[in-house]
Amino acid sequence: MKKILVTGAAGFIGFHLSRRFLHAGHSVIGVDNLNDYYDVNLKKARLMLLEDNNAFQFIKIDIADRENMASLFKREAPAICVHMAAQAGVRYSLVNPHAYQESNLAGFLNILEGCRHHACEHLVFASSSSVYGANTEMPFSVHQNVDHPVSLYAATKKANELMAHAYASLYRLPCTGLRFFTVYGPWGRPDMALFLFTKAILEDKPIDVYNAGKMQRDFTYIDDIVEGVFRVTKKIPEADAKWRSDKPDPATSFAPYKIYNIGNNRPVQLLEFINMIERALGKKARMNPLPMQPGDVPSTYADIDDLMKDVSFKPATSVEDGIRRFIEWYREYYKV
Protein backbone atom coordinates (compact mmCIF):
# COMPACT_ATOMS: atom_id res chain seq x y z
CA MET A 1 0.00 0.00 0.00
CA LYS A 2 1.33 3.40 -0.95
CA LYS A 3 1.43 6.81 0.69
CA ILE A 4 -0.59 9.19 -1.47
CA LEU A 5 -0.65 12.96 -1.29
CA VAL A 6 -4.03 14.41 -2.31
CA THR A 7 -4.10 18.18 -2.68
CA GLY A 8 -7.47 19.88 -2.39
CA ALA A 9 -8.61 17.04 -0.13
CA ALA A 10 -11.42 19.12 1.38
CA GLY A 11 -12.69 19.97 -2.10
CA PHE A 12 -15.35 18.15 -4.07
CA ILE A 13 -13.21 15.81 -6.17
CA GLY A 14 -10.30 15.62 -3.72
CA PHE A 15 -12.63 14.46 -0.93
CA HIS A 16 -14.15 11.66 -3.00
CA LEU A 17 -10.73 10.58 -4.27
CA SER A 18 -9.31 10.48 -0.75
CA ARG A 19 -12.15 8.19 0.31
CA ARG A 20 -11.49 5.91 -2.68
CA PHE A 21 -7.77 5.61 -1.89
CA LEU A 22 -8.48 4.97 1.80
CA HIS A 23 -11.02 2.29 0.88
CA ALA A 24 -8.33 0.61 -1.24
CA GLY A 25 -6.02 0.48 1.80
CA HIS A 26 -3.66 3.34 1.02
CA SER A 27 -2.56 5.99 3.50
CA VAL A 28 -3.57 9.49 2.43
CA ILE A 29 -2.07 12.85 3.29
CA GLY A 30 -4.73 15.42 2.56
CA VAL A 31 -3.73 19.02 1.92
CA ASP A 32 -6.09 22.00 1.67
CA ASN A 33 -6.02 25.69 2.59
CA LEU A 34 -9.77 25.77 3.40
CA ASN A 35 -10.24 29.08 1.61
CA ASP A 36 -13.61 30.83 1.50
CA TYR A 37 -14.26 30.62 -2.26
CA TYR A 38 -17.37 28.73 -1.12
CA ASP A 39 -18.85 27.55 2.18
CA VAL A 40 -15.98 26.46 4.43
CA ASN A 41 -18.40 24.46 6.59
CA LEU A 42 -19.07 22.15 3.65
CA LYS A 43 -15.32 21.57 3.31
CA LYS A 44 -15.02 20.87 7.04
CA ALA A 45 -17.92 18.40 6.89
CA ARG A 46 -16.12 16.49 4.13
CA LEU A 47 -12.94 16.43 6.21
CA MET A 48 -14.79 15.07 9.23
CA LEU A 49 -15.78 12.02 7.22
CA LEU A 50 -12.20 11.49 6.06
CA GLU A 51 -10.73 11.91 9.52
CA ASP A 52 -12.76 8.96 10.78
CA ASN A 53 -10.13 6.83 9.05
CA ASN A 54 -6.81 6.51 10.90
CA ALA A 55 -4.96 6.20 7.60
CA PHE A 56 -5.91 9.79 6.73
CA GLN A 57 -3.82 12.75 7.85
CA PHE A 58 -4.95 16.32 7.15
CA ILE A 59 -2.51 19.21 6.84
CA LYS A 60 -3.84 22.73 6.40
CA ILE A 61 -1.51 24.44 3.95
CA ASP A 62 -1.70 26.65 0.88
CA ILE A 63 0.00 24.98 -2.09
CA ALA A 64 1.32 28.43 -3.10
CA ASP A 65 3.37 28.51 0.14
CA ARG A 66 6.75 27.52 -1.26
CA GLU A 67 8.61 26.83 1.98
CA ASN A 68 5.88 24.84 3.67
CA MET A 69 5.22 22.76 0.57
CA ALA A 70 8.93 21.96 0.27
CA SER A 71 8.96 20.90 3.94
CA LEU A 72 5.87 18.76 3.42
CA PHE A 73 7.41 16.83 0.54
CA LYS A 74 10.69 16.38 2.39
CA ARG A 75 8.93 15.08 5.49
CA GLU A 76 6.34 12.82 3.84
CA ALA A 77 7.93 11.82 0.48
CA PRO A 78 4.65 10.50 -0.99
CA ALA A 79 4.87 7.73 -3.57
CA ILE A 80 2.08 9.26 -5.64
CA CYS A 81 0.82 12.83 -5.82
CA VAL A 82 -2.77 13.40 -6.93
CA HIS A 83 -3.07 17.13 -7.44
CA MET A 84 -6.66 18.40 -7.33
CA ALA A 85 -6.14 21.75 -5.57
CA ALA A 86 -6.79 24.80 -7.74
CA GLN A 87 -8.68 28.01 -7.94
CA ALA A 88 -11.72 26.84 -9.88
CA GLY A 89 -14.38 28.62 -11.88
CA VAL A 90 -14.41 30.30 -15.28
CA ARG A 91 -16.53 33.30 -14.29
CA TYR A 92 -14.64 33.98 -11.05
CA SER A 93 -11.44 34.30 -13.09
CA LEU A 94 -12.90 37.45 -14.65
CA VAL A 95 -13.13 39.23 -11.30
CA ASN A 96 -10.21 37.77 -9.32
CA PRO A 97 -7.50 36.78 -11.82
CA HIS A 98 -4.61 36.92 -9.35
CA ALA A 99 -6.07 34.03 -7.36
CA TYR A 100 -5.49 31.85 -10.43
CA GLN A 101 -1.88 32.92 -10.79
CA GLU A 102 -1.16 32.14 -7.15
CA SER A 103 -2.86 28.76 -6.87
CA ASN A 104 -2.87 27.36 -10.40
CA LEU A 105 0.58 28.52 -11.50
CA ALA A 106 2.79 29.18 -8.45
CA GLY A 107 1.06 26.40 -6.51
CA PHE A 108 1.49 23.91 -9.32
CA LEU A 109 5.17 24.76 -9.64
CA ASN A 110 5.59 23.90 -5.95
CA ILE A 111 3.94 20.53 -6.61
CA LEU A 112 6.26 19.83 -9.53
CA GLU A 113 9.33 20.78 -7.52
CA GLY A 114 8.26 18.61 -4.60
CA CYS A 115 7.68 15.60 -6.86
CA ARG A 116 10.97 16.19 -8.66
CA HIS A 117 13.14 16.38 -5.56
CA HIS A 118 11.55 13.50 -3.65
CA ALA A 119 11.32 10.71 -6.23
CA CYS A 120 7.56 10.75 -6.69
CA GLU A 121 6.57 7.73 -8.79
CA HIS A 122 3.65 9.44 -10.53
CA LEU A 123 2.10 12.91 -10.57
CA VAL A 124 -1.57 12.86 -11.59
CA PHE A 125 -3.05 16.33 -11.93
CA ALA A 126 -6.39 17.90 -12.74
CA SER A 127 -6.72 19.74 -15.99
CA SER A 128 -10.06 20.78 -17.47
CA SER A 129 -12.27 20.53 -20.53
CA SER A 130 -12.04 24.34 -20.62
CA VAL A 131 -8.62 24.02 -22.33
CA TYR A 132 -10.44 23.21 -25.57
CA GLY A 133 -11.52 26.86 -25.65
CA ALA A 134 -12.50 28.03 -29.12
CA ASN A 135 -12.35 24.51 -30.58
CA THR A 136 -15.63 23.43 -32.18
CA GLU A 137 -14.66 20.02 -33.60
CA MET A 138 -16.65 17.46 -31.61
CA PRO A 139 -16.04 15.33 -29.68
CA PHE A 140 -13.05 17.00 -28.04
CA SER A 141 -10.00 14.78 -28.47
CA VAL A 142 -6.76 14.86 -26.50
CA HIS A 143 -5.02 14.62 -29.86
CA GLN A 144 -6.35 18.03 -30.93
CA ASN A 145 -4.41 21.27 -30.60
CA VAL A 146 -5.66 23.41 -27.68
CA ASP A 147 -3.95 26.76 -28.12
CA HIS A 148 -7.00 29.05 -28.01
CA PRO A 149 -8.31 29.32 -24.43
CA VAL A 150 -11.19 31.76 -23.85
CA SER A 151 -10.77 32.27 -20.10
CA LEU A 152 -7.85 32.82 -17.74
CA TYR A 153 -8.88 29.69 -15.85
CA ALA A 154 -8.51 27.65 -19.04
CA ALA A 155 -5.16 29.29 -19.77
CA THR A 156 -3.81 28.28 -16.35
CA LYS A 157 -4.92 24.69 -16.89
CA LYS A 158 -3.23 24.61 -20.29
CA ALA A 159 -0.15 26.08 -18.61
CA ASN A 160 -0.23 23.23 -16.07
CA GLU A 161 -0.10 20.70 -18.89
CA LEU A 162 2.88 22.48 -20.45
CA MET A 163 4.70 22.81 -17.12
CA ALA A 164 4.17 19.11 -16.38
CA HIS A 165 5.51 18.17 -19.79
CA ALA A 166 8.64 20.23 -19.21
CA TYR A 167 9.30 18.39 -15.92
CA ALA A 168 8.57 15.02 -17.53
CA SER A 169 11.10 15.87 -20.22
CA LEU A 170 13.79 17.42 -18.01
CA TYR A 171 13.59 15.16 -14.97
CA ARG A 172 11.78 12.04 -16.26
CA LEU A 173 8.97 12.74 -13.79
CA PRO A 174 5.97 10.64 -14.90
CA CYS A 175 3.03 13.03 -15.28
CA THR A 176 -0.58 12.39 -16.26
CA GLY A 177 -3.04 15.23 -16.85
CA LEU A 178 -6.78 14.63 -16.65
CA ARG A 179 -9.23 16.89 -18.44
CA PHE A 180 -12.43 16.73 -16.39
CA PHE A 181 -15.79 17.45 -18.00
CA THR A 182 -18.42 19.21 -15.80
CA VAL A 183 -18.24 17.08 -12.67
CA TYR A 184 -21.34 16.85 -10.48
CA GLY A 185 -22.76 14.74 -7.66
CA PRO A 186 -23.15 14.51 -3.86
CA TRP A 187 -20.92 16.85 -1.84
CA GLY A 188 -20.57 18.99 -4.97
CA ARG A 189 -19.46 22.61 -5.24
CA PRO A 190 -22.09 25.26 -4.44
CA ASP A 191 -21.00 27.38 -7.43
CA MET A 192 -21.85 24.66 -9.95
CA ALA A 193 -25.08 24.58 -11.95
CA LEU A 194 -26.74 21.55 -10.32
CA PHE A 195 -26.17 22.90 -6.80
CA LEU A 196 -27.29 26.42 -7.74
CA PHE A 197 -30.39 25.23 -9.58
CA THR A 198 -31.48 22.80 -6.88
CA LYS A 199 -31.09 25.39 -4.12
CA ALA A 200 -32.94 28.10 -6.05
CA ILE A 201 -35.85 25.88 -7.13
CA LEU A 202 -36.39 24.60 -3.58
CA GLU A 203 -36.35 28.20 -2.31
CA ASP A 204 -38.79 29.38 -5.03
CA LYS A 205 -36.14 31.65 -6.52
CA PRO A 206 -35.43 32.09 -10.25
CA ILE A 207 -32.44 30.38 -11.83
CA ASP A 208 -30.09 32.16 -14.21
CA VAL A 209 -30.17 30.45 -17.61
CA TYR A 210 -27.53 31.58 -20.07
CA ASN A 211 -27.78 31.51 -23.86
CA ALA A 212 -31.47 30.46 -23.75
CA GLY A 213 -30.37 27.14 -22.22
CA LYS A 214 -28.96 25.98 -25.57
CA MET A 215 -25.48 25.23 -24.25
CA GLN A 216 -24.43 21.59 -24.04
CA ARG A 217 -22.27 20.04 -21.35
CA ASP A 218 -20.78 16.58 -20.95
CA PHE A 219 -21.97 16.21 -17.34
CA THR A 220 -19.86 13.55 -15.58
CA TYR A 221 -20.88 11.93 -12.29
CA ILE A 222 -18.37 12.09 -9.45
CA ASP A 223 -18.11 8.30 -8.95
CA ASP A 224 -17.13 7.90 -12.61
CA ILE A 225 -14.50 10.62 -12.29
CA VAL A 226 -13.07 8.99 -9.18
CA GLU A 227 -12.88 5.51 -10.69
CA GLY A 228 -11.17 6.92 -13.77
CA VAL A 229 -8.59 8.78 -11.68
CA PHE A 230 -8.03 5.77 -9.43
CA ARG A 231 -7.22 3.55 -12.41
CA VAL A 232 -5.02 6.18 -14.05
CA THR A 233 -2.82 6.48 -10.94
CA LYS A 234 -1.79 2.86 -11.52
CA LYS A 235 -1.00 3.51 -15.18
CA ILE A 236 2.38 5.22 -14.96
CA PRO A 237 3.10 6.84 -18.34
CA GLU A 238 6.10 5.88 -20.39
CA ALA A 239 7.77 7.54 -23.34
CA ASP A 240 5.87 6.93 -26.57
CA ALA A 241 8.26 5.27 -29.00
CA LYS A 242 5.98 6.23 -31.90
CA TRP A 243 5.95 9.95 -31.05
CA ARG A 244 7.19 12.09 -33.92
CA SER A 245 8.72 15.53 -33.58
CA ASP A 246 7.67 16.46 -37.12
CA LYS A 247 4.03 15.55 -36.36
CA PRO A 248 3.77 16.02 -32.58
CA ASP A 249 0.80 14.42 -30.83
CA PRO A 250 -0.31 16.69 -27.91
CA ALA A 251 -1.61 13.72 -25.89
CA THR A 252 1.65 11.75 -25.69
CA SER A 253 5.37 12.47 -25.75
CA PHE A 254 8.95 11.29 -25.99
CA ALA A 255 8.84 11.92 -22.22
CA PRO A 256 6.82 9.97 -19.60
CA TYR A 257 3.73 12.14 -20.09
CA LYS A 258 0.10 11.49 -20.97
CA ILE A 259 -3.20 13.41 -21.23
CA TYR A 260 -6.69 11.89 -20.89
CA ASN A 261 -10.25 13.16 -21.08
CA ILE A 262 -12.62 11.93 -18.39
CA GLY A 263 -16.17 12.71 -19.48
CA ASN A 264 -19.53 11.03 -19.77
CA ASN A 265 -19.20 10.92 -23.58
CA ARG A 266 -22.80 12.16 -23.89
CA PRO A 267 -23.45 15.92 -24.01
CA VAL A 268 -26.76 17.15 -22.60
CA GLN A 269 -28.43 20.46 -23.42
CA LEU A 270 -28.85 22.77 -20.43
CA LEU A 271 -32.64 22.94 -20.81
CA GLU A 272 -32.82 19.13 -20.75
CA PHE A 273 -30.61 19.15 -17.65
CA ILE A 274 -32.99 21.61 -15.95
CA ASN A 275 -35.97 19.43 -16.90
CA MET A 276 -34.29 16.45 -15.23
CA ILE A 277 -33.80 18.49 -12.05
CA GLU A 278 -37.45 19.56 -12.12
CA ARG A 279 -38.61 15.96 -12.42
CA ALA A 280 -36.34 14.83 -9.57
CA LEU A 281 -37.56 17.65 -7.33
CA GLY A 282 -41.19 17.44 -8.42
CA LYS A 283 -41.14 21.20 -8.86
CA LYS A 284 -40.87 23.60 -11.80
CA ALA A 285 -38.08 26.14 -12.15
CA ARG A 286 -38.56 29.85 -12.70
CA MET A 287 -36.02 30.91 -15.31
CA ASN A 288 -34.15 34.18 -15.66
CA PRO A 289 -32.82 34.26 -19.26
CA LEU A 290 -29.38 35.82 -19.68
CA PRO A 291 -26.95 36.14 -22.61
CA MET A 292 -23.88 33.96 -23.07
CA GLN A 293 -21.23 34.89 -20.51
CA PRO A 294 -17.63 35.85 -21.33
CA GLY A 295 -15.35 32.81 -21.06
CA ASP A 296 -18.18 30.30 -21.60
CA VAL A 297 -18.22 27.87 -24.53
CA PRO A 298 -21.35 26.60 -26.32
CA SER A 299 -20.61 22.87 -26.00
CA THR A 300 -18.35 20.27 -24.42
CA TYR A 301 -18.16 16.63 -25.47
CA ALA A 302 -15.39 14.22 -24.46
CA ASP A 303 -13.71 11.67 -26.68
CA ILE A 304 -12.63 9.02 -24.16
CA ASP A 305 -11.17 6.41 -26.52
CA ASP A 306 -7.68 6.68 -24.98
CA LEU A 307 -9.04 6.28 -21.45
CA MET A 308 -10.98 3.16 -22.44
CA LYS A 309 -8.00 1.70 -24.29
CA ASP A 310 -5.40 2.32 -21.58
CA VAL A 311 -7.32 1.69 -18.33
CA SER A 312 -10.44 -0.16 -19.55
CA PHE A 313 -12.83 2.38 -18.10
CA LYS A 314 -15.85 4.23 -19.43
CA PRO A 315 -18.22 6.33 -17.28
CA ALA A 316 -21.58 4.57 -16.91
CA THR A 317 -23.80 6.76 -14.69
CA SER A 318 -26.70 8.37 -16.54
CA VAL A 319 -27.24 12.07 -15.93
CA GLU A 320 -30.77 11.37 -14.69
CA ASP A 321 -29.50 8.89 -12.06
CA GLY A 322 -26.69 11.24 -11.07
CA ILE A 323 -29.06 14.15 -10.54
CA ARG A 324 -31.36 11.98 -8.44
CA ARG A 325 -28.46 10.90 -6.20
CA PHE A 326 -27.30 14.50 -5.78
CA ILE A 327 -30.77 15.69 -4.78
CA GLU A 328 -31.10 12.85 -2.26
CA TRP A 329 -27.81 13.96 -0.71
CA TYR A 330 -28.80 17.65 -0.82
CA ARG A 331 -32.12 17.07 0.95
CA GLU A 332 -30.46 14.96 3.62
CA TYR A 333 -27.49 17.31 4.20
CA TYR A 334 -29.53 20.53 4.29
CA LYS A 335 -32.65 18.95 5.84
CA VAL A 336 -35.02 20.26 3.15
**Three-class SS of residue 18?**
helix
Closest CA to 201 of 45, 331, 43: 331
Angstrom distance (rounded) from CA 194 to CA 192: 6
**Three-class SS of residue 314?**
coil
Looking at residue 243, the DSSP 8-state letter turns out to be -
Q: How many helices (H) and strands (E) does the chain have?
A: 12, 13
Cα-Cα end-to-end distance for the chain? 41
Angstrom distance (rounded) from CA 153 to CA 150: 9
Strands (E), the chain: 3-7, 27-32, 56-60, 80-83, 122-128, 175-180, 183-184, 207-210, 216-217, 220-221, 257-262, 268-269, 287-290
Residues with a catalytic annotation lie at 153
Closest CA to 127 of 91, 165, 160: 160
What type of residue is 255? Answer: A
Angstrom distance (rounded) from CA 257 to CA 259: 7
